[in-house]
Amino acid sequence: MLNMISSIDAFGFSPREANGIIDEIQEVVRSNWRKSCASCGVPDTDVARIEGCFDPPFFESELSPNAVM
């Protein structure tokens, strides 16, 4: 998330706007990635192996106080 937020000035977003967009994208991914895998025939064992990529715990972590924005 830090990588995404660190470039908001280039796109003219406020931190609040950027976080809102990130929240929307996260929700779409969280709600649909398993369905997409299933529709492509990805085996359950592979889905289990990759699930951490689509809902990693660090997405919701706080930014470090030393983060450069």
Mean pLDDT, residues 15-37 taken together: 90
Residue whose structure tokens are 């930014």: 63
Prediction pTM value: 0.64
Res. 1 pLDDT band, cuts 50 70 90: low
Burial (0-12, 13-18, 19+ Cβ within 10 Å), 26: middle
Q: What is the DSSP string of the chain?
A: -HHHHTTHHHHT--HHHHHHHHHHHHHHHHHHHHHHHHHTT--HHHHHHHHHHHS-GGGGSPPPTT---
Mean pLDDT score of the chain:
81
29 Cβ neighbours under 8 A, 6+ residues apart: 54, 55
pLDDT of residue 58: 63
